[in-house]
């Protein structure tokens, strides 16, 4: 490991771990995800051109953790679906919400889901989101406005 990569790991490793832990809520999985993020960073031939490693690593940690969370939910969905149906009073609401979210993000780039997560879950401001997502503030604003308009259309339908 070059000293450059080592210093980046020492500097940003805790930030990446905290991000992974915030999303995954499991320490072991967050440790593994942190390692995966840095492996991806090392394998990226364009990393030398990354101006802000913190933003790059934060975005990578967010995307990787969300993907792991999605895989985890798909893997466990079959095993506990019957139990959730039997014990949940709000199962219909959960299914309806998932259907709306699927329709909302259909045909949207993955970065739009990231932007929505950063805005509405992490409560980040537009400047912070733009830095993490690698977009301009106006680009983030346009995507959020388009998403809100699409959500209004789904509510009216």
Do 74 and 150 belong to one domain?
Answer: no
Do 15 and 67 belong to one domain?
Answer: yes
Q: What is the pLDDT of residue 71?
A: 75
The residue out of 82, 101, 126 marking a domain boundary is 82
Q: Please report the DSSP string for the chain in residue order.
A: --HHHHHHHHHHHHHHHHHHHHHH--HHHHHHHHHHHHHHHHH-GGGGG-S-HHHHHHHHHHHHHHHHHHHHHHHHHHHHHHHHHHH-TTHHHHHHHHHHHHHHHTT--HHHHHHHHHHHTS---HHHHHHHHTS-HHHHHHHHHHHHHHHHHHHH-
Range of the domain at 137: 88-157
Do 56 and 130 belong to one domain?
Answer: no
pLDDT digits (tens, 9 = 90+) for 23-66: 898 999 999 999 999 999 988 888 878 888 998 899 999 989 98
Q: What is the pLDDT of residue 81?
A: 44
Do 27 and 78 belong to one domain?
Answer: yes
Structural domains of the chain, count: 2
CATH of the domain at 92: 1.10.10.10
The residue out of 38, 55, 82 marking a domain boundary is 82
Q: Residue 85's pLDDT band (boundaries 50, 70, 90)?
A: very low
The residue out of 48, 82, 116 marking a domain boundary is 82
Do 115 and 78 belong to one domain?
Answer: no
Do 108 and 151 belong to one domain?
Answer: yes
Do 142 and 122 belong to one domain?
Answer: yes
Q: What is the pLDDT of residue 34?
A: 96
pLDDT digits (tens, 9 = 90+) for 90-146: 656 666 667 777 777 788 888 888 888 888 888 888 998 888 888 899 999 999 998
């Amino acid at each position: 490991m070059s000293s450059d990569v080592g210093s980046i790991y020492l500097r940003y490793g805790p930030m990446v771990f905290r991000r992974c832990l915030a999303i995954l809520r499991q320490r072991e999985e967050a440790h593994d995800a942190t390692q995966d993020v840095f492996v991806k960073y090392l394998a990226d031939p364009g990393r030398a051109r990354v101006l802000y490693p913190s933003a790059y690593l934060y975005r990578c940690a967010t995307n990787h953790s969300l993907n792991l969370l999605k895989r985890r939910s798909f893997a466990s969905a079959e095993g506990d679906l019957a139990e959730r149906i039997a014990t949940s009073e709000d199962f219909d609401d959960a299914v309806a919400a998932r259907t709306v979210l699927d329709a909302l993000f259909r045909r949207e780039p993955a970065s739009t889901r990231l932007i929505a997560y950063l805005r509405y879950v992490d409560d980040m401001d537009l400047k912070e989101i733009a830095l993490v997502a690698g977009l301009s503030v106006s680009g983030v604003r346009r995507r959020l406005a388009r998403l809100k308009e699409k959500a209004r259309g789904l509510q009216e339908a």
